[in-house]
Chain A
């Protein structure tokens, strides 16, 4: 069963506590954690893919309009409390295993090694289309 684990970073903390602003060793500890986590997924035969995403400054909201020209606005939705920072797609035997891995990702180390306890949204994947599929 495939699941997507979506890492939700609190928008309120983005300005002051995003990864680039952390002390070097804390950022490194975080990246090392992710590397180990990914390798563990690969070794367990559960890894499908992972991607990190650009922050709110690089986000646009695009909406088609009746005039034909798309309306493009900067940043996340005004009402959002979180920004999608990255995601994993995993292939696991049970939903419980997906939740277990999500909990581990949630506890990724932050500043001073303190667990971030980020919200991880877990969705079952219903449909996959890969390049080269018939």
Chain B
């Protein structure tokens, strides 16, 4: 025993995928192995504070998880014997398997293998998120349930269904083939992006505890980047998260109200995160083969580089959105490009571009379209149209801080220009 006072949560989370990798490797049953590792993690969280952290925490966890696994298999075997005497075979690998790998070899690859498995395209995003946070992130079901504000039983069920689906689809515990590795990595990055967004978008106002999701997404993306340093999109996503998270404390004021980018107190931005993000994205872009996350990170970097909002290099942002638009079929990108168009060529040009989105069913009723149009009308000096659109946007958003911000914009303009509001 090393006599450390408490097991660090960080240590357990770091070890979770390594231990799970070793157990899956030995027993081959991902679903059962995941349960066994979760039990070992809980045992560690209970015992280590009193008994101290073992000299080799990883070996300890593997040992405990393997024992659970063996117990499970034994009871499974006797259950089957009870049910039918004809069943004679034991689960493969039970008696003959070598001891679980206690060495350092392969432990990092396991994290990546598990990510590929937990983010497999057969799973819906919500299932992939839940499974990733538990199996790779080492969070307990209760912690995940708390972060997503659902009952623990619901989250447990979501995780167990995800595991069943993986079992049914026969996804092997192996690296994807070279042909599919691009698509599979894209799924992994997408899931990490969604976890980050869920935490970031709601780490305002009333749901502060979800900043946990932001740090977990960042930690896992750092891991992927460390394991695949040559992958431009993994680097791009990490840079995007760093450059976005850097603005976290400037995003809301003391009353918990949303502060738009142009009005944020840039002294509150985290320069360390910005420097790291900019270094990372600059190095990545210089290597060529640009992807959507890299472009979004580059745009975030241009914003973060401006010491005052009026110093923002909008022509460069416009060019980057132009590239991004060609790469994705996402009307939200066009919407953002329209903002850049308005900043470079004036609000009329921006509104013209927005009008092309009016018939896109993915965006037509979205609050962001109305919010951006409101802002452009305001820039163009058309206060009446701006108020109408701000109010429309406020009615359509499902985010309370967004709604309050948009309603306040409408009220402010209405007061200045003495507009009789008729909703």
Known: A93-B124, A124-B398, A127-B400. A45 touches B208 (CB 8 A): no
A128 to B159, CA, bound (A): 22
The interface stretch among B108-116, B143-151, B280-288 is B143-151
Q: Most chain-A CB neighbours within 10 Å: which of B150, B155, B207?
A: B150
A63 within 8 A of B: no
Q: Which residue of A lies closest to B153 (CB)?
A: A42
Contact string, B58-89, partner A, CB cutoff 8 A, digits 1/0? 00000000000000000000000000000000
B157 within 8 A of A: yes
Contact string, B104-142, partner A, CB cutoff 8 A, digits 1/0? 000000000000000000001111001000000000000
Instruction: Identify which of residues 90-132 in chain A touch chain B, using a CB-to-CB cut-off of 8 Å.
Output: 91, 93, 124, 126-130
Q: Most chain-A CB neighbours within 10 Å: which of B154, B208, B400?
A: B154
Q: Is B206's CB under 8 angstroms from A45's CB?
A: no
Known: A42-B157, A44-B161, A45-B161. A127 touches B206 (CB 8 A): yes
B399 within 8 A of A: yes
Known: A42-B153, A130-B149. A93 touches B126 (CB 8 A): yes
Residues of B within 8 A of A127 (CB): 206, 400
A1 to B403, CA, bound (A): 17
**B283: min CB distance to chain A, Å:** 36
Q: Is B151's CB under 8 angstroms from A47's CB?
A: yes
Residues of A within 8 A of B161 (CB): 43-45
Known: A124-B398, A126-B400, A127-B400. A45 touches B151 (CB 8 A): no
A91 to B148, CA, bound (A): 9
Residues of A within 8 A of B127 (CB): 45
Known: A93-B126, A133-B209, A134-B208. A49 touches B151 (CB 8 A): yes
Of A47, A126, A129, A130, which contacts B154 at CB under 8 A? Answer: A47
A46 to B126, CA, bound (A): 10
B158 within 8 A of A: yes
Q: Is B154's CB under 8 angstroms from A91's CB?
A: yes
A48 within 8 A of B: yes
Q: Which residue of B lies closest to A2 (CB)?
A: B149
Of A48, A93, A126, A129, which contacts B151 at CB under 8 A? Answer: A48
Residues of A within 8 A of B150 (CB): 47-48, 91
Q: Which residue of B lies closest to A123 (CB)?
A: B398
Known: A45-B157, A45-B158, A45-B161. A134 touches B151 (CB 8 A): no
A49 to B149, CA, bound (A): 11
**A37: min CB distance to chain B, Å:** 15
Q: Is B155's CB under 8 angstroms from A134's CB?
A: no
On chain A, which size bracket covers the interface? 10 to 19
Q: Is A46's CB under 8 angstroms from B206's CB?
A: no
Of B125, B154, B206, B209, which contacts A93 at CB under 8 A? Answer: B125
Residues of B within 8 A of A93 (CB): 124-126
A44 to B155, CA, bound (A): 10
A45 to B157, CA, bound (A): 5
Q: Which residue of B lies closest to A94 (CB)?
A: B124
Residues of A within 8 A of B207 (CB): 128, 133
A129 to B159, CA, bound (A): 24
A49 to B154, CA, bound (A): 10
Residues of B within 8 A of A2 (CB): 149
A124 to B209, CA, bound (A): 21
Contact string, A39-58, partner B, CB cutoff 8 A, digits 1/0? 00011111111000000000
**A4: min CB distance to chain B, Å:** 12
Q: Which residue of A lies closest to B127 (CB)?
A: A45
A130 to B206, CA, bound (A): 11
Residues of A within 8 A of B159 (CB): 45
A12 to B157, CA, bound (A): 40
Q: Which residue of B lies closest to A133 (CB)?
A: B209
Q: Is A126's CB under 8 angstroms from B398's CB?
A: yes
A67 to B417, CA, bound (A): 38
Instruction: Identify which of residues 190-212 in chain B touch chain A, using a CB-to-CB cut-off of 8 Å.
Output: 206-209
Q: Which residue of B lies closest to A91 (CB)?
A: B150
A42 to B403, CA, bound (A): 32
**A97: min CB distance to chain B, Å:** 10
A80 to B417, CA, bound (A): 39
A50 to B161, CA, bound (A): 22
Q: Which residue of B lies closest to A124 (CB)?
A: B398
Given contacts A45-B127, A47-B151, 19 further A-B contacts (CB under 8 A): A45-B130, A45-B154, A47-B157, A48-B150, A48-B154, A49-B151, A91-B126, A91-B148, A91-B150, A126-B399, A126-B400, A126-B403, A127-B206, A128-B149, A128-B207, A129-B206, A130-B149, A133-B207, A134-B208
Please name the 6 residue pairs, one residue from A and one from B, whose CB atoms are nearest each other, closest first. Answer: A45-B158, A45-B157, A128-B149, A124-B398, A134-B209, A47-B154
- A-B contacts, 16 listed (Cβ < 8 Å): A42-B157, A43-B157, A45-B126, A45-B158, A46-B154, A47-B150, A47-B154, A47-B157, A48-B149, A91-B154, A126-B398, A127-B400, A128-B149, A128-B207, A129-B206, A133-B209
